[in-house]
Amino acid sequence: MAVQAAEIGVLDAAEPDVKGAVRFRFLRNPKTATGLGILGFFLLIAVIGPWVAPYDPSATSDALMASPSADHWFGTTQTGEDIFSQVLVGTRGVLVVGLIAGGVATVLSVLVGVTAGFLGGIADDVLSALSNVFLVIPALPLIIIIASFGEGMGDVAIALVIAITAWAWGARVLRAQTLSLRNRDYVQAARATGESTPRIIVFEVLPNLTAVIASGFVGTVIFAVGLEITLAFIGVADISHWNWGTILFWAQSNQALAQGAWWWFVPAGLCIALLGTSLALINFGIDEFVNPRLRVASRSGVRMRVGFTPVVRGADAAADSEKSEKGDAA
């Protein structure tokens, strides 16, 4: 009876997914929708920010250390620079570094990780050794050393250095997942029908790694954004190029906190927090979309219990369970 109840519960829980548009389930997740909405807002600001900025972010004025007002929404610096314009213009640099680094690192991790896991043998040993080498290379000291040989590094150069040092951990994860997929029945069937290795990897293996790849991309973007802001904050990046880290650098250098000029660093800090939150929410949405337990547990009427898989019972199964409980009590 317990087995039948579990089977009925699983079927009942799966029916809405079969009837509904499964392809849009990921976008219907509140976490995913919120994260994508915030990220889309920042992407829009990155595109139109320099055009809609009310002032030149580097232009000085007579309004020194002015608090937020109608003329300067986020206040001004000690030289009269408009902080709102700096935040708008600086959004592009942060997102450019994050997206380029995330994209390049994801491509490298897929090429190395999936190839090593699927081919095995000597190829696996060589590519795994390569991943281990790049896994221990620290990104921050490397960028500092590279920047010391030039006057400054652009956003693309910083993004490429971050990508080169950030792809290895994703490749290790993809290699482990590929090892568990290469001996599945559908892969063996594709081999038996004479499919080539590249075609099997592209059409049989990669679709089952989509969620892992997407999660790795989001994680790399978060890492790249944080590292870019850190580099600007400590003065390694070009401080004449505006981004949120540059704003915090000048605020810290001019002791904005000691002077009570909270408007100098709070807006940039809130933007960093909101961008990180949006990427984290997207990552949570990916996890819930992939993991059936998380997907079922997020529905109404289902409670999670430690050590037990949540099961939605049908009406007949619930009635049978109540009858059996009454019989035991009698």
How many Cα atoms sit within 13 Å of 108 on the Cβ side?
24
Q: In sequence order, which residues have a C-beta less than 8 Å from that of residue 97 and are 6 or more positions away?
A: 155, 158, 159, 162, 224, 225, 228
Q: What is the average pLDDT across 24-52?
A: 88
Dihedral (CA of 14, 15, 18, 21) sign = negative
Comparing CA positions, the residue from 294, 298, 280 lying closest to residue 35 is 280
pLDDT digits (tens, 9 = 90+) for 163-205: 988 899 899 999 999 998 888 888 888 888 888 888 998 888 9
pTM above 0.85, yes or no: no
β-pair partners for 76: 82
Ramachandran category for residue 140: left, alpha or beta (phi over 0 → left; psi -120 to 50 → alpha): alpha
Report the mean per-residue pLDDT for the chain: 81
What is the model's pLDDT at position 113?
92
pLDDT digits (tens, 9 = 90+) for 93-149: 899 999 999 999 999 999 999 999 998 889 889 999 999 888 888 877 887 787 766
Q: How far are the Cα atoms of 41, 170, 238 from residue 176, in angstroms, in the given order?
A: 36, 10, 39
Rounded Cα distance between 286 and 83, Å, is 35
Can you spell out the DSSP letters for 212-242? HHHHHHHHHHHHHHHHHHHHHHTT-S-TTS-
Alpha-carbon distances, residue 209 vs 28, 286, 313 (angstroms)? 21, 12, 31
In sequence order, which residues have a C-beta less than 8 Å from that of residue 18 and are 6 or more positions away? none
SS3 category, 82: strand
Phi, psi of 302 (to 5 degrees): -120, 130
DSSP state, residue 305: B
Please write the tens of the pLDDT for every residue from 194-244. 888 889 988 889 988 888 899 899 999 999 999 889 888 888 777 778 889
